[in-house]
Amino acid sequence: LRDTNLIAISYNNIGCNYHQQNNYEKALEYYLKSLEIRKNLRDTNLIAISYNNIGDVYLKQNNYDKSLEYYQNALELEKIISYKRGIVFTYNGMGQIYMKQDKMHDAMNYLKKSLTLAKEIEDLFLKAEVYNNLSSAYKKLNDYKKAYEYHKLYTTAKDSLFNDEKSKEIGRLEAKYEFEKETEAQEKQIQ
């Protein structure tokens, strides 16, 4: 079909699958293919997402300079288009880099910025991620009280996400059951 946008999305999704399997070389290969197409399409939002994905892979590989480079590229675009969800993700990633480098002042700065924005946009998933990283950061700073507080917030958020998903799944199953019951009743009436 020669739909370059869908090809870029497909490459990105393949990259995500490899990323989840911890096959970072293959993930990078597909993320970079997706990025090149997105650059040609000049879709700023999707380019920023690609930069974040690539930055995340380099973070997992402990290549902090490359990771930071891609996160900074993402942040530059996200600020231009006011993509707050992306900014939360980017700040969170940058906070993780600095935490791994024992630059705790910088780590806390980015993680707190990330949390402020995550709360502002009311994104429970991102709040959970940042709470978890703040818990780790405070643990690294030997502030176990704060580490515990953020771990409790993380657990509560994670449980809420799990309960939301379970509620949605139950709703889907109930709707399916009702539909099948109704269909069965209609078939009996026809007979």
How far apart, in whole angstroms, are the C-alpha atoms of residue 98 and residue 92? 10
> Would you say the pTM of this structure is higher than 0.75?
yes
pLDDT bin (cut points 50, 70, 90) of residue 2 is confident
Q: What pLDDT score does 28 carry? A: 97
Q: What pLDDT score does 185 carry? A: 55
pLDDT of 154 above 60 = yes
Structure tokens at 91: 């700040």
Condensed to tens digits (0 to 9), the pLDDT of residues 74-129 reads 999 999 999 999 999 999 999 999 999 999 999 999 999 999 999 999 999 899 99
Structure tokens at 166: 């379970």
Average per-residue pLDDT in the chain?
A: 90
pLDDT of 190 above 80 = no
Whether the CB-CB separation of 31 and 15 falls below 8 Å is answered with yes
Calculate the alpha carbon distances from 62 to 19, 23, 48, 75, 189 in Å: 14, 14, 21, 20, 65
Looking from the CA of 181 toward its CB, the CA atoms found within 13 Å total 6
Helices (H), the chain: 4-20, 24-41, 44-60, 64-81, 84-100, 104-120, 124-140, 144-190
Range scoring the smallest mean pLDDT among 1-5, 16-20, 83-87, 151-155: 1-5
pLDDT of 68 above 80 = yes
Residue matched to tokens 């009996």: 188
